[in-house]
Structure 1
Amino acid sequence: MIRPEVKTLAWRWREVLFALALIGIGIWWGMAFFGIVAWIGWGLAVVAAGFAVSAAQKVRFRGTSDGPGVVVLDERRVTYLGPEDGGVADLDLMVQLDVTPAPAWRLINRDGHFIDIPTDAKGVEVLFDAFTALPGLNTEHMLSVLHRKKPAQMTVWMAPDHRPYRQLN
């Protein structure tokens, strides 16, 4: 039997573990075989290493618990259905992305309207790929702001032609 906390941890890191297994297989093929199989093995190891880095970033983005509400991403439109509030944000109209002290993601549209999505809401991991597609977003900066010890509102990304919004209520 596997202890429940170990099983939960392994499930959380499953994509990284899979990538590490592919790296191992690739290195084995690269060292144990000759010719085209060896080249395929080394190629597999390199591609899997890139996948492992991306998967580790996604794990760091994903919340550790099921917070309030549900996040759905459909056709570049983010929908948040919360217990007390909710809303919709079009990624094509988004000009600023902040992290609030709650902690929550604040998606701000061009007209100043915003939606706050808790960082531990169910399904929030779909936002990782949507955020990394924003032009000029630094993924490591986003993750470091998300995991800061002292909560404060910080801007993670801003559209190049946009002036920042500060206190929005």
Structure 2
Amino acid sequence: MIRPEAAALLIRWREAAFGVAAAGLGLYLLVTSGGLLFLFGLALAGLGTVLAFSGLRHARFHSGEDDAPGLVEVDEARITYLGPVMGGSVALDDLTAVTFRRTGTGEAFWRLVSPEATLYIPEAARGAEQLLDALAPLPGFDSGAMVRAVRSRTAVTITVWSRPGHAALT
């Protein structure tokens, strides 16, 4: 019924769409009702706004491709990449730097650096969209920088985050 490209687009933006719909319904209840419905509308508008902004951030972060080999798993503050040739795992507390690199051929990957290991994760690996939420708790982390890095289409290496006192290698 629906073309695969259209279905993928709807899935990518669904969180933002639900947030906008919830905020709209909440605003409608705020304007047209009173009492408990007014309070419910206020809560729904607030929740919908948060969901819409979160969905927008996630939709912009996702490259739209999931064709790179490997799988990213996030479990208990540990990021694991299971790849066909290379793989590994790093704990969030051990990270010293996070960089994003896009090559001249368009390939892109994340580099997570810790004292024990350096983990390379292809941008289009299945589950890579989890990185945005997984890295968010890092002190001073700027999720906007991470989204801008993914949106960049030129050959570039961008340091998205580095622990104070540690220099990120490019």
Structure-2-length-normalised TM-score: 0.89
Percent identical among aligned pairs is 35
**What CA RMSD, in Å, does the superposition of the two structures yield over aligned residues?**
1.5
CA distance in 1, matches of 2:168, 2:121: 19
Residue aligning to 1:15: 15
Report the equivalent of 1:90.
Answer: 91
The alpha carbon displacement at 1:164 in A equals 2.6
Q: Does 1:148 align with 2:152?
A: yes
1:106 aligns to 2:107 (yes or no): no
| Distance in structure 1 (CA, Å) of the matches to 2:36 and 2:94 | 48
Q: Please tell me whether the aligned partners of residues 96 and 159 of structure 1 are also in contact (alpha carbons under 8 angstroms).
A: yes
Q: After TM superposition, where is structure 1 displaced by more than 4 Å over at least 4 residues in a row?
A: none
Whether the 8 Å CA contact 1:63–1:121 is kept in 2: the answer is no
Amino acid at match of 2:77: R
Q: Deviations over 1:8-36 (max 9, x none)?
A: 21112111111111112101211221123
Looking at structure 2, the residues matched to 50 and 24 of structure 1 have their Cα atoms a distance apart, in angstroms, of 13
| CA distance in 2 between partners of 1:17 and 1:41 (Å) | 18
Residue equivalent to 1:40: 40
Q: Which amino acid aligns with 1:74?
A: D
Point out where structure 1 has 5 or more consecutive residues left out of the alignment: none
Aligned equivalents of 2:155 and 2:80: distance in 1? 25
Aligned twin of 1:74? 75
2:98 is matched by which residue type in structure 1? L
CA distance in 2, matches of 1:130, 1:144: 17
CA distance in 2, matches of 1:43, 1:78: 34
Structure 2: runs of 5+ lacking an equivalent: none
> Do 2:132 and 2:143's aligned partners in 1 also have CA atoms closer than 8 Å?
no
Aligned residues: 165
Counterparts of 2:134 and 2:45, CA distance in 1: 27
Q: 2:28–2:41: 8 Å Cα contact kept in structure 1? A: yes
The match for 2:143 among 139, 146, 153 is 139
